[in-house]
Amino acid sequence: MQEIVKLAKKYSPKLVKGYSAGNISVVDKKSWLEVCDRKHRYGANLRAYYKEWKRQAATPSFWEWLDDESIEKFALTIRDGRVFHVLSQEIVESGEEGWIFVLRDGVLYGGQKETKKIPRIHHTSFVAGECVQTAGMMVIKNGVIETIYPHSGHYRPSEHELLVLLRFLVAQGVDMSHVKVDVQRIQKVYRDVVNGTRVRKIDNAHFWGAYRVLFFLEQKHLAWKIGLFDDIVDAVARKHNVAVEVDTSSEATAMDECDMVCDFEFMGIVPMRSSSSCATIDEDPMEIFASCQLQH
């Protein structure tokens, strides 16, 4: 026991904190990296990364190397509407299964989800569980985004976060004309139950075109900003004897509350009008975005 304590103390004083007060059980060696990691990343992943750091004989400390290495290798960039790896500049090919992704500080990170091999890759792996702008999954072929699934068990993206993603992609020059977006959550599509278990979300997809989704969410966001849903929120609150205060200054709060009380289905989506001429839904989407200012 004393040898383990000495080794643990040498490794990090944090591992033996409280030992002198009679707390003599030291955490298992396999968990030392996880305990010492201020971001508390998954232990099995950390051990695999540590072996790679030792193999490379990298000059920064392990933690400095890990922060740089774990983020940069997943970073993606968009050029001419297509998705590339930042480090290798190779074009992204996700395969039919798609890649998971997060958007943080205006940078897209993505990769193949891995749940069986080590290191395991989840949405939280890209930024060590820190906050992100949005998360989900994409099918990308030859650098072209084909399908977007706003699915993440860790981040559970809301309508607002999907809106953030679509705005980002349009701003990056992605042609969304042929991109499909799963809107089963937006449209409250019920998941079938098979043998007592609900089918997977990805097997229950309900697709809209990306521009239609963007128009719908922009309309819904604008409706919240002008107080169109306030009476509905008040009515629901009175029904359940709950005091609900709508803060229209917070997009995220507004979108989440809209999820709670609204179940609208727009069969035809008309883009928002501005004081200038604005195209109709039947016209070219790129011309629409050239003449219509998105709501911020």
Query: pLDDT tens for residues 111-143?
Result: 775 555 555 554 455 565 567 888 899 999 999
For residue 29, give the DSSP letter: G
Q: For position 137, what pLDDT does the model report?
A: 92
Contact at 8 Å (CB) between 291 and 279?
yes
Q: For position 235, what pLDDT does the model report?
A: 86
Contact at 8 Å (CB) between 147 and 138?
yes
Average pLDDT of every residue of the chain: 71
- Smallest Cα–Cα separation from 148: which of 82, 71, 213? 213
For residue 189, give the DSSP letter: P
Quick one: average pLDDT of 33-56?
A: 67
Quick one: average pLDDT of 55-71?
A: 65
Q: For position 102, what pLDDT does the model report?
A: 87
The pTM assigned to this predicted structure is: 0.60
CA distances from 238 to 235, 245, 255, 257, 264 (A): 5, 12, 20, 15, 21
